[in-house]
């Protein structure tokens, strides 16, 4: 069954695709996308919901039909990236990495993956190995020729330069899960995904990361994005000196079409 369009917003006017970036966040129940300009202005945003087809060709046809329906031709963009929202991942240093052992790396982390994908980080001199539906990822790669594939932790790791001279924990909240990335003085320290039944359990995990890396001594800021509400915010405030929403790295000046848009909820599209 083709993807259903849950929402679609486009800015007035237009910018040539060669000057824009196209980012897709792939979930188990669909995907979201954003087109942004080099200075971080959001040009369009959309959400597709529905289960991925049972075959690679079926998913490919559904992706092409959906993107065509919202006026996106994934060719000629300055950059395209596919962010796979995985449940399990691990970093493997370059000197230890072998592509033949991808599944073994996750098994060593206590995971029996149905499928695996990888991406490399030159900054970390490591490869992220993460669980993924291989045929779905392949379908998107065919639909978006030249797209770079990564998971959420590889994406978050790239934020390290923003935190030079300070400490911060970025937390991305989703249903029953929280993705965590910790930074200190411009260095990426750790990234992990925790299964959490309640906001209080998630806060416990965040505090544990802070204490494990002695970030409380550096006055670590906690940044929240994803499915964040007042309850989550209030649960975090007693444990961190500063708690803020994180809305990505784009400019705060946006087209009027995005007035009231929850940028923090879709921050991973805007990094």
Query: Got the DSSP string for 33-78?
Result: EEEE-TT--EEEEEEEESPPPSSHHHHHHHHHHHHHHTT---SS-S
Backbone angles phi, psi at 111, to 5 degrees: -120, 140
Structure-token match 């505090």, residue found: 207
Residue 36 is predicted with a pLDDT of: 94
CATH of domain 160-245: 3.30.420.260
Residue 113 is predicted with a pLDDT of: 85
Q: How many helices (H) and strands (E) does the chain have?
A: 6, 14
Spatial strand order in the sheet of 79-84:
4-10, 42-49, 30-36, 21-27, 79-84, 148-151
Residues 6+ apart with CB under 8 A from 64: 143
Residue 16 is predicted with a pLDDT of: 66
Residue 185 is predicted with a pLDDT of: 97
Residue 37 is predicted with a pLDDT of: 92
Residue 252 is predicted with a pLDDT of: 85
Using alpha carbons only, how large is the chain's radius of gyration in Å?
Answer: 18
Residue 70 is predicted with a pLDDT of: 94
Low-confidence ranges of the chain (pLDDT < 50): none
- pTM for the whole thing? 0.94
* Domain covering 4-83+251-263, topology: Nucleotidyltransferase; domain 5 (3.30.420)
**What are the extents of the domains in the chain?**
4-83+251-263, 160-245
Residue 1 is predicted with a pLDDT of: 74
Residue 15 is predicted with a pLDDT of: 63
Q: Do domains 4-83+251-263 and 160-245 have the same CATH topology?
A: yes
Give the separation between CA 116 and CA 155, rounded to whole angstroms.
17
Count CB neighbours of 252 within 10 A: 7
Residue 14 is predicted with a pLDDT of: 65
Give the separation between CA 23 and CA 81, rounded to whole angstroms.
5
Residue 228 is predicted with a pLDDT of: 97
């Amino acid at each position: 069954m083709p993807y259903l369009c849950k929402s679609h917003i486009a800015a007035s006017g237009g910018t040539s695709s060669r000057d824009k970036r196209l980012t897709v966040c792939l979930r188990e129940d669909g995907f979201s996308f954003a087109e942004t300009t080099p200075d971080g202005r959001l040009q369009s945003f959309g959400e597709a919901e529905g289960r991925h087809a049972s075959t690679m060709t079926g998913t490919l046809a559904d992706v092409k039909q959906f993107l065509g329906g919202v006026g996106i031709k994934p060719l000629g963009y300055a950059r395209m990236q596919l962010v796979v929202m995985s449940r399990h991942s691990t970093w493997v240093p370059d000197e230890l990495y072998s592509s033949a052992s991808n599944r073994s790396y996750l098994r060593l982390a206590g995971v029996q993956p149905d499928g695996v994908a990888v991406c490399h980080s030159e900054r970390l001199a490591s490869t992220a190995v993460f669980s993924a539906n291989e045929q779905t990822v392949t379908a998107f790669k065919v639909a978006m020729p030249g797209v770079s594939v990564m998971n959420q932790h590889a994406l978050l790791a790239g934020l390290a330069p923003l935190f030079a001279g300070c400490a911060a924990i970025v937390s991305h909240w989703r249903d029953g899960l929280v993705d965590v990335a910790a930074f200190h003085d411009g260095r990426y320290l750790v990234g992990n995904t925790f299964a959490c039944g309640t906001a209080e359990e998630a806060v416990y995990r965040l505090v544990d990361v802070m204490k494990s890396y002695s970030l409380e001594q550096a006055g670590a800021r906690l940044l929240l994005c994803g499915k964040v509400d007042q309850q989550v915010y209030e649960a975090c405030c007693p444990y961190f000196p500063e708690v803020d929403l994180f809305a990505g790295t784009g400019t705060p000046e946006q087209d009027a079409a995005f007035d009231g848009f929850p940028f923090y909820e879709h921050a991973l599209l805007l990094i």
